[in-house]
Chain A
Amino acid sequence: ETGVTQTPRHLVMGMTNKKSLKCEQHLGHNAMYWYKQSAKKPLELMFVYNFKEQTENNSVPSRFSPECPNSSHLFLHLHTLQPEDSALYLCASSPTGENEAFFGQGTRLTVV
């Protein structure tokens, strides 16, 4: 257990659905991240939040919309996804942006 909790663990959604992924940490960390892990590709950094402010958006399509209401919670809102968006979505946190990251178990997303 790393102290970073992601829900749900598995999600199947249609291309016209809207869903949200949730990430929660009570480690007192101030930086939170979304990564995408697809087969045969490196982990792709999607978004970075520092002290609730988005500091990086790595050219992610607008059908992915992050939200960080406070330092302990991070959401990824999904709408009109494509089958190629099926992947493992990993949330991570770190004390600041300069430390090692602690990862959640991930949400396995399948878009049908």
Chain B
Amino acid sequence: GEDVEQSLFLSVREGDSSVINCTYTDSSSTYLYWYKQEPGAGLQLLTYIFSNMDMKQDQRLTVLLNKKDKHLSLRIADTQTGDSAIYFCAERSKAGTALIFGKGTTLSVSS
């Protein structure tokens, strides 16, 4: 079945880089997404990558995609306390009609 796996927690110090990893199951996914959820809020789209790309950079965010291993990662450079949140990886469902999410990785940034 469809499954998106992420590690549940990551703790870093302010100024360090954070790397959040994700594995997915559907090799036919055309887009893969990263969302951020702050406490008490809905999910906010951070970035996405098209499946024919290996890397996408957007300011402090770098997304790496390894299609062979079905592995997606999100790197946040110079992590700030405001980056503390839950980060969700998502792929499109086999039916193609909705996004399937992982359990989310809670990023904790200490000063």
* B-binding residues in A (CB < 8 A): 2, 4, 6, 31, 33, 35, 40-43, 45, 48, 50, 55-56, 90, 92, 97-98, 100-106
Contact B42 A56 (CB under 8 A): no
A104 to B, closest residue via Cβ: B42
Give the contacting residue for B95; candidates A35, A56, A101; CB below 8 A: A56
26 chain-A/chain-B pairs, Cβ below 8 angstroms = A31-B97, A33-B98, A35-B101, A42-B4, A42-B100, A42-B101, A42-B104, A43-B88, A43-B101, A45-B93, A45-B99, A45-B100, A48-B97, A48-B98, A55-B97, A56-B97, A92-B43, A92-B99, A97-B97, A97-B98, A98-B96, A100-B48, A101-B43, A103-B43, A104-B42, A105-B42
Contact A41 B103 (CB under 8 A): yes
A96 to B, closest residue via Cβ: B97
Contact B98 A42 (CB under 8 A): no
Q: Which residues of A contact B4 (CB under 8 A)?
A: 42
Question: In the assembly, what is the distance between CA of A41 and CA of B88, in Å?
Answer: 12
Q: Which residues of A contact B44 (CB under 8 A)?
A: 2, 103
Given the known interface contacts A41-B103, A100-B33, the answer about A56 and B98 at a Cβ–Cβ threshold of 8 Å is: yes
Least distance between B95 CB and chain A CB atoms (Å): 7
* A-binding residues in B (CB < 8 A): 4, 31, 33, 35, 40-45, 48, 88, 92-93, 95-104
Contact A100 B97 (CB under 8 A): no
Least distance between A39 CB and chain B CB atoms (Å): 10
Least distance between A15 CB and chain B CB atoms (Å): 25
Question: In the assembly, what is the distance between CA of A6 and CA of B98, in Å?
Answer: 19
Least distance between B49 CB and chain A CB atoms (Å): 11
Give the contacting residue for B42; candidates A45, A55, A103; CB below 8 A: A103
Give the contacting residue for B92; candidates A40, A98, A103; CB below 8 A: A98
Given the known interface contacts A40-B103, A43-B88, the answer about A90 and B98 at a Cβ–Cβ threshold of 8 Å is: no
Q: Which residues of A contact B96 (CB under 8 A)?
A: 97-98
**4 smallest beta-carbon distances between A and B, as pairs:** A103-B42, A43-B101, A97-B97, A103-B43
Least distance between A99 CB and chain B CB atoms (Å): 8
